[in-house]
């Protein structure tokens, strides 16, 4: 799995664990809906760490908690 796919999967996993809709995540993160939807649909190839941090904060977790997941084990090389 590539980092982009793992990141999207982790966001969706946490969002569902917290019973949070995409629209609630958009509101909580303070980001434009088009940006969040583009990231979650995989259309944004490189969303940038600042955008990911906003989403993580919207989910109510720390960066350490976000990346502390088996999802990020064995990522493919990003050639």
Report pLDDT digits (tens) over 30-74: 999 999 999 999 998 888 999 999 999 999 999 999 999 999 998
Q: Which residues contact 44 (CB under 8 A, 6 or more apart)?
A: 35, 38, 51
> What homologous superfamily is domain 3-70 in, according to CATH?
lambda repressor-like DNA-binding domains (1.10.260.40)
What pLDDT does residue 45 have? Answer: 81
What pLDDT does residue 79 have? Answer: 64
Give the other-Cβ count within 10 Å of 9's Cβ. Answer: 14
Q: Please, what is the end-to-end C-alpha distance for the chain in angstroms?
A: 13
- pTM of the predicted protein model: 0.89
- Kindly tell me the sign of the dihedral angle through the C-alpha atoms of 67, 33, 45, 16: positive
């Amino acid at each position: 799995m590539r980092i982009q796919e793992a990141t999207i999967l982790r966001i969706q996993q946490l969002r569902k664990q917290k019973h949070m809709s995409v629209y609630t995540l958009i509101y909580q993160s303070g980001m434009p809906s088009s940006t969040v939807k583009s990231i979650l649909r995989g259309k944004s190839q490189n969303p940038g760490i600042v955008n990911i941090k906003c989403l993580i904060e919207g989910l109510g977790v720390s960066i350490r908690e976000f990346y502390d997941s088996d999802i990020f084990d064995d990522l493919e090389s990003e050639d």
